[in-house]
Amino acid sequence: MSGRAARVYRGTPRNLSLLAERLRAGELVAIPTETVYGLAADAFNARACRKIFTVKGRPASDPLIIHLASASELGRVARPNAAALRLAKKFWPGPLTLVLPKLAAVPGVVSAGRPSVAVRVPAHPLFRRLLRLTGTPLAAPSANPFGYVSPTTAEHVRQSLGKKIGHILDGGPARVGLESTIVDLRNPLRPRWLRPGGISRKDLELALGRALIVPRSRIKPGAAQIAPGQLARHYSPHTPVTLHPRLTAKMAAAGRKDEAWLFLQPPQARSGRNIFSLDPHGDLRGAARRLFSVLRQIDEVGFRRIHASLVPGTGLADAINDRLRRAAAR
């Protein structure tokens, strides 16, 4: 841990070179991605990766995602198959994580001791430049205390981890705002959809030419997971969340004033300090981008409860609703 407030860096060539040097030396650097901000370490340095778990308060049973500078580096950390290469060609760089058999070079701390590894190529140009300069794959979960809502700006990272880490690279607000889609391709004939995100299930199935299996069994707490984001409760604000199939302005008007009401878009004829929305026009891309920042905003006010509405649709709606369900889980 740094013991001092983290320094926030602009993405200048000099700063990127400095941060690459720090990563090679085994230090942690908070980095921007198109999904959310991550807390990165050299993926081949087990000691550095253990620091991630300490700083976040993350259990060792929850593995990390390895980030590569390009798809051509996949063979450094995993054994790809034809299905993985097909998805990589179509969706990388981008918000898609693939679970594959890992190589021995990947430390067990990264994979929760399992023989598989989660890997992706991020689309954020600043992070990709840093990956190339560092010259090694980087393991990075979201840069926040374990279980809390993910950070989508450098300021979110500074607020929550700024006294525990030394370096934050500011790459602006996250473009997607939700963590990556995760597909388990250990058995390419039985691909599994582990987490919805910015790449839709429909698009993945079209690319693979087969249906994705949706696991129904729940992950047992403490059991080693094959990918992050599998626990029933995750991405949770400090304020308790009650989830509704649909919210109306009438429900908010009849509710308590010390409880927050979170809509997809602003309700007609209803406003107030306890009324929040994800996008002024109900656009799902805007809603996904703002979900975590709005939950943080509500937390800062200090309401006793958040009433949130599921959003209609599929694709990005699946990802938003997944995060809301996990935030509301007990």
pLDDT the model gives residue 3: 58
List strand residue ranges (DSSP E) for the chain, in order.
7-9, 29-31, 38-42, 65-67, 96-101, 116-120, 138-139, 167-169, 181-184, 192-195, 241-244, 259-263, 275-277, 305-309
Contact 174, 34 (CB under 8 A): yes
* CB count in 10 Å sphere of residue 84: 22
Beta bridge partners of 178: none
User: Tokens standing for 66?
Assistant: 């390895």
Q: Which of 49, 166, 174 is nearest to 117 (CA)?
A: 49
Main-chain phi, psi angles of 318, to 5 degrees: -60, -40
Instruction: Give the tens place of pLDDT for each residue, 9-59.
Output: 999 999 999 999 999 999 999 999 999 999 999 999 999 999 999 999 999
What one-character-per-residue DSSP string does 188-216 give? TTS-EEEE--SS-HHHHHHHHTSPPB---
Cβ atoms 184, 96 nearer than 8 A:
no
Which residues, other chains included, contact 149 with Cβ-Cβ below 8 Å and sequence gap of 6+?
A: 235, 236, 237, 292, 295, 296, 299, 327
Residues in the chain where the model's pLDDT stays below 50? 1-2
Sheet of 275-277, strands arranged across = 241-244, 305-309, 259-263, 275-277
What is the b/e burial string over 87-98, where b = at least 16 CB atoms within 10 angstroms of the residue's CB?
Answer: bbeebbbbbbbb
DSSP designation for 95: S
pLDDT tens string 135-175: 999 999 999 999 999 999 999 999 999 999 999 999 999 99
DSSP 76: G
pTM over 0.75: yes
Residue 184: strand, helix, or coil: strand
pLDDT in the model for residue 2: 47
Spell out the domains of the chain, with CATH numbers in brackets.
7-208 (3.90.870.10), 241-328 (3.40.50)
230 alpha carbon, distance to own chain's centre: 12
